[in-house]
């Protein structure tokens, strides 16, 4: 610690050069933070998916509907503890860019299935009593300034009213929060019985059908057997099913975007390689410029090890400072949540990635400093003093 002022003084020797190097490290770690947040937004659903939940969808495609009657048949299968369903509503609030998910659901089984959605009991009771009632996540409520008691018009791109209008009006009866930080609190859920009643009034061809089912299994170890049993139950029917763990289902959605982990790693790899060269060059130059001074330090008694440690400390301080600043800025920038208006509802920088980033910055410091530090360590004193 008592050498810290010397380390700091050396970093401040060429302020502009240090500032530019620092800036490049800050930008690299800011990018790291943003990419981590995007990755979390796209893949976070996989990590929070329930291990005891299965998704049952149409074997052909997720956009094909399944009969509502399947619910009762699945409930009778051994190992099935609970069944609920959702249907994609595809609604727009005021403007197409105001994207968020809406689904008609069965309130009781839905809330029992997804305990990560926290709804006050009074609001749950109000939902059960209001046919046109809807609950909305905190993020979307705050985004549009909705509060309990508001009537909200949503235009569906898929489902029409009996009169042909696509405008649906819901009464906001509850606002739910997420149990975990990465619980998605952007969707709006409304009652399936109201939804199906409207479809029935309109003699819609798809009444009595739902988008997909979620099953809770009694024993997660038996999830595979239950999935097989479900698919076997509906084999050779007009709507065969494909049952898979919730995590795999979410992953399949994510994979439509691409291999997020590979894309992120590739971008960061290129960025960090460049930073390695920039910071490494700064450190090498800095050591070359003060070979005489390093000779003086050795002459007055600094050991080779102390000189090595001092140069390494210098590069580590630079990298940690840049990394810390970049990650801090990234954290600040991502703390406001989804910047896309609803496409990345779980956009945030996880604390795990903050720590990984700090680890990276330390590694960057060591890697960029090790060669100049070895060069400084190997200096012959008498030779170095001649270069003062």
Partner 1 sequence: MNGTTGGDGVLVAVEGVEKVFHRGSEDIHVLKDLHLTVPAGQFLALMGPSGSGKSTLLNLIGGLDRPTQGTVHVAGERVDQLSDHRLASWRARHIGFVFQLYNLMPVLTAERNVELPLLLTPLSKAERRRHVEAALAMVGLSARAKHFPRTLSGGEQQRVGIARGIVTDPTLLLCDEPTGDLDRKSGDEILDLLQALNREHGKTIIMVTHDPHASARASRTVYLNKGQLSSAPVN
DSSP structure string for 205-235: TTTTEESEEEEEES-GGGHHHHHHHHHHHTT
Q: Are 152 and 212 in contact (CB under 8 A)?
A: no
Pick 96 or 305: Cβ nearer partner 1: 305
Tell me the closest approach of the beta carbon of residue 282 to partner 1, in angstroms. 16
Pick 164 or 301: Cβ nearer partner 1: 301
Q: Two tokens at 384?
A: 């170095």
DSSP, collapsed to helix, strand or coil, labels residue 102 as strand
Could you give the C-alpha distances from 165 to 156, 169, 264, in angstroms and in order? 9, 11, 43
66-67 and 209-210 beta bridge pairing: antiparallel
Q: Two tokens at 281?
A: 């060059």
Q: In sequence order, what are the beta bridge partners of 168?
A: 154
Tell me the closest approach of the beta carbon of residue 287 to partner 1, in angstroms. 14
Q: Two tokens at 289?
A: 């410029």
Pick 1 or 262: Cβ nearer partner 1: 1
Pick 257 or 299: Cβ nearer partner 1: 299
Pick 49 or 381: Cβ nearer partner 1: 381
Tell me the closest approach of the beta carbon of residue 4 to partner 1, in angstroms. 11
Q: How many C-alpha atoms does 250 have within 13 Å on its Cβ side?
A: 19
Tell me the closest approach of the beta carbon of residue 370 to partner 1, in angstroms. 20
Contacts of 162 (CB under 8 A, 6+ apart): 198, 201, 202, 203
Pick 267 or 382: Cβ nearer partner 1: 382
**φ, ψ for residue 98, nearest 5 deg:** -80, 65
Tell me the closest approach of the beta carbon of residue 6 to partner 1, in angstroms. 7
Q: Two tokens at 67?
A: 């009969």
DSSP, collapsed to helix, strand or coil, labels residue 136 as strand
Pick 158 or 388: Cβ nearer partner 1: 388
- Taking the mean position of all CA atoms in its chain, how far away is CA 316? 29
Pick 262 or 300: Cβ nearer partner 1: 300
Tell me the closest approach of the beta carbon of residue 175 to partner 1, in angstroms. 57
Tell me the closest approach of the beta carbon of residue 9 to partner 1, in angstroms. 3
Pick 9 or 269: Cβ nearer partner 1: 9
Residues in the chain: 388
Tell me the closest approach of the beta carbon of residue 16 to partner 1, in angstroms. 15
Tell me the closest approach of the beta carbon of residue 302 to partner 1, in angstroms. 7
* Residues forming the site for partner 1 (CB under 8 A): 2-3, 5-6, 9-10, 12-13, 292-293, 296-306, 380-382, 385, 388
Q: Crossing angle for the helix pair 15-48 and 246-255, nearest 10 degrees?
A: 130
Matching residue, tokens 């094909």? 64
User: d(Cα 122, Cα 300) in Å, to the nearest integer?
Assistant: 77
Q: Crossing angle for the helix pair 15-48 and 304-334, nearest 10 degrees?
A: 60
Tell me the closest approach of the beta carbon of residue 44 to partner 1, in angstroms. 46
Pick 72 or 300: Cβ nearer partner 1: 300
- Nearest C-alpha neighbor of 161 from the set 216, 89, 56: 89
Q: Two tokens at 124?
A: 């749950």
């Amino acid at each position: 610690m008592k050498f810290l002022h010397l380390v700091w003084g050396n970093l401040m020797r060429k302020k502009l050069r240090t500032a530019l190097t620092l800036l490049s490290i800050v930008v690299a770690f800011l990018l790291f933070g943003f990419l981590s947040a995007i990755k979390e937004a796209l893949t976070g659903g996989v990590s929070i998916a329930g291990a005891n939940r299965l998704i049952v969808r149409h074997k052909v495609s997720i956009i094909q509907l399944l009969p509502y009657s399947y619910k009762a048949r699945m409930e009778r299968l051994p190992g099935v503890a609970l069944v609920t369903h959702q249907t994609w509503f595809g609604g727009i609030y005021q403007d197409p860019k105001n994207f968020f998910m809406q689904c008609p659901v069965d309130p009781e089984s839905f809330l029992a299935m997804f305990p990560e959605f926290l709804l006050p009991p009074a609001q749950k009771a109000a939902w059960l009593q209001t046919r046109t009632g809807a609950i909305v996540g905190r993020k979307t409520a705050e985004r549009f300034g909705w509060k309990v008691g508001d009537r909200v018009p949503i235009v569906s791109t898929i489902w029409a009213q009996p009169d042909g209008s696509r405008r649906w009006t819901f009464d906001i009866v509850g606002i739910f929060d997420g149990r975990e930080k990465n619980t998605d609190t952007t969707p709006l859920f409304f009652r399936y019985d109201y939804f199906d009643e409207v479809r029935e009034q309109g003699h819609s061809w798809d009444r009595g059908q739902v988008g997909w089912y979620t099953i809770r299994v009694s024993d997660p170890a038996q999830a595979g057997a239950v999935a097989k049993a479900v698919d076997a139950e509906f084999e050779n029917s007009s709507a065969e099913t494909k049952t898979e763990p919730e995590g795999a289902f979410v992953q399949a959605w994510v994979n439509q975007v691409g291999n997020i982990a590979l894309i992120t790693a590739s971008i960061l790899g290129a960025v960090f390689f460049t930073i390695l060269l920039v910071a490494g060059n700064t450190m090498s130059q800095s050591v070359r410029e003060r070979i005489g001074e390093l000779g003086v330090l050795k002459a007055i008694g600094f050991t080779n090890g102390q000189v090595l440690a001092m140069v390494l400390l210098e590069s580590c301080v630079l990298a940690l400072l840049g990394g810390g600043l970049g990650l801090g800025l990234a954290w600040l920038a991502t703390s406001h949540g989804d910047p896309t208006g609803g496409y990345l509802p779980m956009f945030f920088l996880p604390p795990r990635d903050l720590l990984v980033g700090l680890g990276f910055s330390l590694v960057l410091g060591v890697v960029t400093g090790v060669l100049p530090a070895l060069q400084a360590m190997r200096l012959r004193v008498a030779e170095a003093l001649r270069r003062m």
